[in-house]
Amino acid sequence: MAKILYIEDDDNHKELTRNILRGHELIMASDGIEGIEKARQEKPDLILIDLNLPGINGYETTTKIRGIKEISHIPIVAVTAGNTEENREISLAAGCDGFISKFTPIAEYRCKIQEYLDGKKDALEDSEKLNCLKKYQSRLIAHLEEKITELEKERDHLKVTQIQLLQQEKMASIGQLAAGIAHEINNPIGYINSNLCTMKKYLAKICQYKQQCQKVWSELKEINHPKITQAFESLENLSAELKLPFILEDIGSLVEESLEGVERVRKIVADLKSFSHLDEAELKEADLNQGLQSTINIVWNELKYKANLIKELGEIPLVRCYPQQINQVFMNLLVNAAQAIETHGEIRVKTAPAGDRVLVEISDTGCGIPPENLSRIFEPFFTTKEIGKGTGLGLSMAYDIIRKHNGEIQVESQVGKGTTFRLLLPIDGPQVTENNKTEYSFKA
């Protein structure tokens, strides 16, 4: 009876081998490190080792055992499911004395084990050994390089996701702040509006009373009594001195203007609310024309000095989407359009039905995108803007959002003439699948 150490991570194979090698004392280890440890403690007569082990694999474990003086002499036999010539050669080169396939018939398996226990060694020339180890080494290096590239890709992806998350969080907190401010402004605007309307009514009454006074005065004047004439003149003089005719006329326009101002503030508040409303972060049926309009109002300051805005908003069905995210895309495209115009130009915003999708087109008469940049504009951090002005994330976020909506984004651009971004969004909205795919295409 011999003492055999079997280093194997698969419980089924351990059990099978236990049956096959009944009659021998079998010690089990589940990975290379445990195997080395048990080899040291138990000093077995033979070590059987699986090549695909977790952690350090079979080849490396063998090399390590061969480097430990007190156990380096123990015969080692590689046992593996991958019965390839390459596996055999590399095991022998790494220091194994033999190689057995896991699929060897039981009787033959027992026989072979006995041969190895009796001191049999599979032979391999030194030059062959060296070749095998070289091949193994270059495969390991290739594998490592592959892993490094994978990790680098993952790191870049994480970096982009982190920045996008930060940006989204920033947008969400700006949204929350805006919604809070909008709510606070709503109250005072409500009573200012109501007071102005009341003032307008009071003013009409004062004017009516003044007209009546003037009528009475002209009748009294006809009596031609010196006291009445004097009183009339003193009142006329005071009215002129106080500029009452002007005031009464102007007060009307002041109230009208104030009411207009209040209406504008009310609209801004409504836009802020619809732009940032927290329910809009949910998937819902949205009117893209309304979304575009409120986004235009939000970025109006950036647009108004740069361009004439032409709106061609068609009759479009409601689109199932995340309105807040879609507004973010509109905002990024509108701001880009304005930034592309150097002095003054035109920005055209168009919507139209397109079968089971809705088309949103934003074009500008700006500087255009050179063909060599066209394929890069959706890359995170790609920017041609000076430091501090652009982070290069606007279009990559837009691309991501449209992708999540199962949509399509197209660009057409001519240097010196302008750029058109076309979005096609399915009316039914995003399908909840793992790999939502967006297509984008370019035309220079």
Interface ranges with ligand ATP (CB under 6 A): 332, 336-337, 340, 364, 366-369, 377, 382-385, 390-396, 419
Calpha distance 1→75 (Å, rounded): 16
**Is 272 in contact with 175 (CB distance < 8 Å)?**
no
Nearest residue relative to ligand ATP (C-beta) = 394
Calpha distance 262→259 (Å, rounded): 5
Residue 261 site contact among Mg ion, ligand ATP, none (CB < 5 to 8 Å, cut-off depends on kind): none
State which residue, 294 or 328, has the beta carbon closest to ligand ATP: 328
The 10 Å CB-count burial string (b at 16+, else e) for 18-42 is: eebbeebebbbbbbbbbbbebbeeb
State which residue, 182 or 333, has the beta carbon closest to ligand ATP: 333
Calpha distance 265→252 (Å, rounded): 20
State which residue, 394 or 418, has the beta carbon closest to Mg ion: 394
Residue 420 site contact among ligand ATP, Mg ion, none (CB < 5 to 8 Å, cut-off depends on kind): none
Nearest distance, CB of residue 392 and Mg ion, angstroms: 8
State which residue, 239 or 383, has the beta carbon closest to ligand ATP: 383
Interface ranges with Mg ion (CB under 5 A): 336, 394
Report angle CA 214, 219, 222 to the nearest 5 degrees. Answer: 125
DSSP lists the bridge partners of residue 4 as 26, 46
Element at 53 (helix H, strand E) = none
Residue 429 site contact among ligand ATP, Mg ion, none (CB < 5 to 8 Å, cut-off depends on kind): none
Nearest distance, CB of residue 171 and ligand ATP, angstroms: 12
State which residue, 98 or 394, has the beta carbon closest to Mg ion: 394
Dihedral pair phi/psi, residue 258, rounded to 5°: -60, -40
State which residue, 5 or 401, has the beta carbon closest to Mg ion: 401
Nearest distance, CB of residue 365 and ligand ATP, angstroms: 10
Residue 324 site contact among Mg ion, ligand ATP, none (CB < 5 to 8 Å, cut-off depends on kind): none
Residue 383 site contact among ligand ATP, Mg ion, none (CB < 5 to 8 Å, cut-off depends on kind): ligand ATP
Residue 366 site contact among Mg ion, ligand ATP, none (CB < 5 to 8 Å, cut-off depends on kind): ligand ATP
Question: What is the biggest distance separating any 2 CA atoms in the chain, rounded to whole angstroms?
Answer: 151
State which residue, 23 or 416, has the beta carbon closest to ligand ATP: 416
Nearest distance, CB of residue 335 and Mg ion, angstroms: 6
Nearest distance, CB of residue 343 and Mg ion, angstroms: 19
3-state SS class at 285: strand
Q: Say which residues have a Cβ less than 8 Å from residue 28's Cβ, sequence separation at least 6.
A: 5, 6, 8, 14
Nearest distance, CB of residue 444 and ligand ATP, angstroms: 12
Calpha distance 329→408 (Å, rounded): 13
**Is 307 in contact with 345 (CB distance < 8 Å)?**
yes
Element at 65 (helix H, strand E) = helix 58-67
Nearest distance, CB of residue 364 and Mg ion, angstroms: 12
**Is 64 in contact with 95 (CB distance < 8 Å)?**
no
Residue 382 site contact among ligand ATP, Mg ion, none (CB < 5 to 8 Å, cut-off depends on kind): ligand ATP
Residue 391 site contact among Mg ion, ligand ATP, none (CB < 5 to 8 Å, cut-off depends on kind): ligand ATP
Residue 7 site contact among Mg ion, ligand ATP, none (CB < 5 to 8 Å, cut-off depends on kind): none
* Torsion angle (degrees, nearest 10) of CA 97, 98, 99, 104: -150
Nearest distance, CB of residue 332 and ligand ATP, angstroms: 6
State which residue, 182 or 307, has the beta carbon closest to Mg ion: 307
3-state SS class at 286: strand
Calpha distance 68→5 (Å, rounded): 16
State which residue, 50 or 412, has the beta carbon closest to ligand ATP: 412
Calpha distance 90→59 (Å, rounded): 8
CB-facing half-sphere around the CA of 340: CA atoms within 13 A: 27
Per DSSP, 278 falls in state G
State which residue, 17 or 336, has the beta carbon closest to Mg ion: 336
Nearest distance, CB of residue 302 and ligand ATP, angstroms: 11
Residue 52 site contact among ligand ATP, Mg ion, none (CB < 5 to 8 Å, cut-off depends on kind): none
Nearest distance, CB of residue 353 and Mg ion, angstroms: 28
